[in-house]
Structure 1
Amino acid sequence: MPRCANKGCQKEFDESNNEEGSCSYHPGGPVFHEGLKSWSCCAEVNKPVLEFDQFMALPTCTKGKHSASTTPAPATKPTQPPTSSLDEPTISSDGVETYGFSKLSTKSDAPAPAVSSTSSVPAPAQKIVEEEEDDPSVQVTEGTQCKRLGCGYKYVNEVESRKEGGCRYHPQGAIFHEGSKGYLCCKRRVLEFSEFLKIEGCKSGKHMFVGSKKDVTKEEKVDCRLDHYQTPLQVHVSAFAKGADKEKSIVTFETQSLHLDLYLPSNKRVEKTIQLYGPINPETSTFRILGTKVDIVLQKPSAISWPLLELPPPGTELPPGYALTFGVSGRTGTVGGKEIVLSPEELARRGG
């Protein structure tokens, strides 16, 4: 049976039994702004959320018929052209266009670099992230959807729905950059949101329908989303931690690391250490705890551009375009920058 292409539905349907009202979907497009996510068609009813899995769980707002094809909304274009050039799109076997950045628009016209372990700054050990699993003592209701990103499977019974390798999913979050869409855990990038929803999971495992059982008497360790942009002498970071306790929470700065210890409502706590891409001046770096987030200003000792906020593990290849966007206002760009200023380490990686 064909699968419905309407946004928010994605169910298989019978062409001969496709009645009006059988499909529940979003007629509008996704809206991503300042870390918040919503649908343009029901932003007043479904308030914007921070996390991508919360966005995907927002209730649909329109009833109609299932459709095997839909006309996607045009991709959002940046307000200013990026300083890197786009390759011609490549078309995969299933007809989906993908694209990437091929070269720097600098005088040297050098290829985009891979982050190497030859940097003079020692890289931190890579953290092993334990993925959440279902608590076997919690009963699952038939029809409950798997919570893993990119799966969409619905629970049938214990035998059929608990098979090892039955779930194909993305272990890391979604990423949206310069109009492209994909997941941090795999390299595929697409332009249209409807095609992003079709990107197949890159890891196999068991489905997760309810998650682990939480002990409400114990402090729960959670993560928080980070967003940032840079100016020639500063990096501005937003840690989206709603309701952080101003009296107990603290942000600590070191020469090349940032430590967050944030106390949140419902006995939750964020303990996070970021190994920064470049050095900072701890004495002049500052933070402010607001109602929905923590605003952090990292002071650079000199006007050197950072391709990323966090130093990647040794041998990690930067996603296409991430080291190339400068002179663009807000988020990943450098506000007020007239040209790229590279550190000696970056110059060495690029061969001079």
Structure 2
Amino acid sequence: MPKCTHQGCGKDFDEGDNVEGSCSYHSGGPVFHEGLKSWSCCNEVNKPVLEFEAFMAIPPCTTGTHTTSLPLKPTAPQPASTETPTTVSSSGVETYGFQNLSTEAASSPSSTTTPASVPPTAVSSTASAPAPAIPAKEDEEDDLSFKVEDGARCKRLGCGAVWEGEEVSRGEGEKSKCRYHPQPAIFHEGSKGYLCCKRRVLEFSEFLKIEGCKEGKHLFVGAKKDETKEELVNCRLDHYQTPLQVHVSAFAKGADKEKSRVVFEPQQLHLDLHLPANKRVVKSVTLYGPIDPETSTFRFLSTKVDIVLQKPKPASWPLLELPAPGTELPPGYALTFGVSGRTGTIGGKEIVVSQEELARRGLNG
């Protein structure tokens, strides 16, 4: 059967049963602005969201008939995305709009950053403390005791399969197989793709068609939560850098100072943050470059943990986290420093590239 090409639908349909109202879709285009994501056709009804998964879950706002025609391009340009990895703060230091790229997409930190000349109040960096034990991460699976509503879609990135009943969606056939992306989307200077695979496209409609690179079971309802047990959750990381420091904000509201720990190692950052409502963040980040654990610092605030990673020598980090082997980043990804004003970039600083980075990019010969 043909597959509907309306944005937000994507269902297989029967031409003989393609009646008015059988298709629910978005008639407008995606709008990405300052970390927020929405659809132009319903952004007054369905408010913009931060997470890409939440954006993909925004319910369609238009009904009609299914189609196999390619989506029309918008007649007017969409607002330019500010989710490009590099932005510039008024203090003249390089900033990054993306959160920690192992998890998820981001908002600009420019409104909450501290000028590099004002060091944060230091708390003992506990460099010699052991790193918190991190449970082995497994893909979430459906709790089979939960009822799946008709029309429910698979929650895994890049799948979007529609629930067709127990025998079809959880059986042994082809439709029970989930092909998805285990790592988040990456948008950079018009290029769109996923960190877990190499394909990059320009059109958003083509991005939605990028087939998943991992195979498993569909996730329609998720796992049942035990309210009596501690719940492991994630936290958003934003960062900006100067030649000698990387300033990281871990957004963990109400973290308990007495129970929580931040541990520095020569090229790793470990977080063990105890939050209200019996929630906990246990996270380790393999950093893009080395740091000095003894002089790196952190402090707890009411809404986040401020962390300052001290580089042993001047260098530019394209990312906060070292990508997995084989991950291909767009050319020139977030390597430059600059100076900005109200009307945009008005100057620049000489780029500082470490020998390690030159070796990675084959530029030291």
Provide the C-alpha distance between the structure 2 equivalents of 1:63 and 1:290, rounded to a whole number of angstroms. 45
Question: 2:156 is matched with which residue: 133, 148, 154?
Answer: 148
Alpha-carbon RMSD: 3.7
The answer to whether residue 192 in structure 2 is matched with residue 181 in structure 1 is yes
Quote the Cα distance in structure 1 between the aligned partners of 2:307 and 2:39: 29
Cα distance in 1, alignment partners of residues 354 and 318 from structure 2: 11
Cα distance between partner residues in 1 of 2:331 and 2:160: 30
Structure-2 change in CA distance of 1:36 and 1:267 (3 Å): farther
In structure 2, what is the Cα distance between the partners aligned to 1:231 and 1:220?
35
8 Å contact from structure 1 (residues 233, 301) kept in 2: yes
- Alpha-carbon distance in structure 2 between the residues aligned to 1:317 and 1:147: 24
Shift of the 200–77 alpha-carbon distance from structure 1 to 2, 3 Å rule, reads same
Contact 1:163/1:206, CA 8 A, preserved across alignment: no
Q: Distance in 2 between matches of 1:65 and 1:174?
A: 30
Residue 275 of structure 1: aligned partner: 286
1:276-317 CA-to-partner distances (Å, cap 9, x unmatched) read: 2223355464456454x555443434321112212345x444
Distance (whole Å) between structure 2 residues aligned to residue 290 and residue 195 of structure 1 = 42
Residues 157-199 of structure 1 deviation map (CA, whole Å, 9 limit, x = unaligned): 3222223562222222222222211112211111121111111
Listed as ranges, the matches of 1:154-303 within 5 Å are 154-163=162-171, 166-241=177-252, 243-245=253-255, 247=257, 251-281=262-292, 283=295, 285-287=297-299, 289=301, 291=303, 294-303=305-314
**Is the partner of 2:205 in helix, strand or coil?**
helix
- What is the CA–CA distance in structure 2 between the aligned matches of 1:289 and 1:30, rounded to whole Å? 35
Q: Whole-Å Cα distance in 1 between the matches of residues 8 and 236 of structure 2?
A: 24
Q: 1:230 to 1:323 in 2, by over 3 A?
A: same
Q: 2:137 aligns with which of 129, 136, 146?
A: 129
Distance in 1 between residues matched to 2:256 and 2:35, nearest whole Å: 22
Cα pair distance change 1:160/1:6, threshold 3 Å: closer
Specify the code of the residue in structure 2 equivalent to 1:48: P
For 1:82 and 1:218, the matched residues in 2 are separated by: 37
- List alignment gaps of at least 5 residues for structure 1: 84-125
Name the SS of the counterpart of 2:272 in structure 1: strand
What is residue 326 of structure 1 aligned with on the other side? 336
| Amino acid in structure 1 at the alignment position of 2:58 | L
Give the alignment's TM-score, normalised by structure 2: 0.68
Contact 1:228 1:309 in 2 (8 A): yes
Give the corresponding residue for 2:73.
Answer: 72
Q: Identity of paired residues, percent?
A: 64
Matches within 5 A, 1:11-22: 11-13=11-13, 21-22=21-22
Aligned length: 303
Deviates more, 1:215-224 or 1:135-144: 135-144
CA distance in 1, matches of 2:254, 2:32: 23
Is 1:82–1:326's contact at 8 Å kept on the other side of the alignment?
no
**In the superposition, relative to structure 1, how do residues 66 and 288 fare at CA in structure 2: closer, same or farther (>3 Å)?**
farther
Counterpart AA for 1:275: T
User: What is aligned with 2:128?
Assistant: none
Are the counterparts in 2 of residues 245 and 263 from structure 1 also a CA contact under 8 Å?
yes
1:78 deviation in Å?
Answer: 7.8
User: What is residue 99 of structure 1 aligned with on the other side?
Assistant: none
The alpha-carbon deviation at position 218 of structure 1 amounts to 0.6
In 2: Cα distance, 1:75 partner to 1:328 partner: 26
* CA positional deviation for 1:210: 1.7
Amino acid at match of 2:315: I
Give the corresponding residue for 1:91: none
Aligned counterparts of 1:239 and 1:31: Cα–Cα separation in 2:
26
Give the structure-1-normalised TM-score: 0.71
8 Å Cα contact 1:233-1:304 kept in structure 2: yes
Aligned to 1:108: none
In structure 2, stretches of 5+ residues that fail to align are: 87-133
For the 8 Å contact 2:141–2:219, the answer to whether it is kept is yes
Look up the match of 1:112.
Answer: none
Give the CA deviation at 1:64: 4.3
Shift, 1:134, TM fit: 1.8
